[in-house]
Amino acid sequence: MRNNIFRSWMLASLICFWFPCDLRGTTMKFIELSCPVCNKRIAATVIPSTNTFGGMDRDFMSRAAGAQPLLIFPITCTGCFYSGYRKDFENEIKISEKVIIEIREKKILKPILAIQENVDYGEIPAWIRYDLIAQTYQLLQKKEDDIGQQYIMAGWVIRLTRNILSKMDKETAEKINKMIDSKWDKDAVVNENRADYETGLGRELALIGKRNEGEPRKLAAYAAISLLMAHGENGSVYEILSMLKTVETEKKFLSFERAVKESIVLEQLFQAKAIPFMETAVQKEGDNIQKGILMYECGELHRRVGNWDKARYFFELSERTPGLPEWLARWVKEQKGLLPKLTP
Cβ atoms of 191 and 179 within 8 Å: the answer is no
pLDDT at position 53, please? 65
Q: What is the pTM (predicted TM-score) of this model?
A: 0.90
Using CA atoms, how far apart are residues 224 and 212, in angstroms rounded to an integer?
14
Residue 292 identity: G
Mean pLDDT of 147-170: 92
Identify which has the larger pLDDT, 211 or 49.
Answer: 211
Q: What is the pLDDT of residues 284-342, one digit of tens each?
A: 999 999 999 999 999 999 999 999 999 999 999 999 999 999 999 999 999 999 999 87
Q: What is the pLDDT of residues 246-275, one digit of tens each?
A: 999 999 999 999 999 999 999 999 999 999
